[in-house]
Structure 1
């Protein structure tokens, strides 16, 4: 299993339903990405929130990567295909290189 140790601040978002509205955002929390592990057919983001450790699983072909801009700068959104959860991180070369095989679909 390949692993990347990294410290990257971001924001994780969990929503209530597929037909979510802004008021349906259940959890929007700051996180620190501590490592990424690759597994057969996907990868796992290992994050620390202010209250707990979080592991989010993503699968190849079921993950969307979006490069977006905000007043704070450019960031990458890693989103589960169903839109139920996503995480935003500042654009980081190590992160992009490590996950490149999952972005090329």
Structure 2
């Protein structure tokens, strides 16, 4: 039993550590209030849904309209960005740690991303 105690302590310590952040780059969409998605080479990731799901750290998304932003519905629209985030491994961003806005041309030139009008 004593020999198992250090292994158990290490297992509990590692389980308490946060998951590693991934850097994901692509089109960031905010088509309507409260709805946010990121589309990267792996697919579409939900950041927030109006009246429902919201990733932790949404306040870390800067005002993207001050950079290259395409307004499609009042102030809502899309841009290009990279974010350091944690995902659920399926289709949701669960935590946002940092967001860096890129030029629209960066996403437009990426063959792994869908084209935008």
Bin the TM-score by the shorter chain.
0.3 to 0.5
- From the two aligned structures, give the one with the greater helix fraction: 2
TM-score (norm 1): 0.33
Structure having the higher Rg = 2
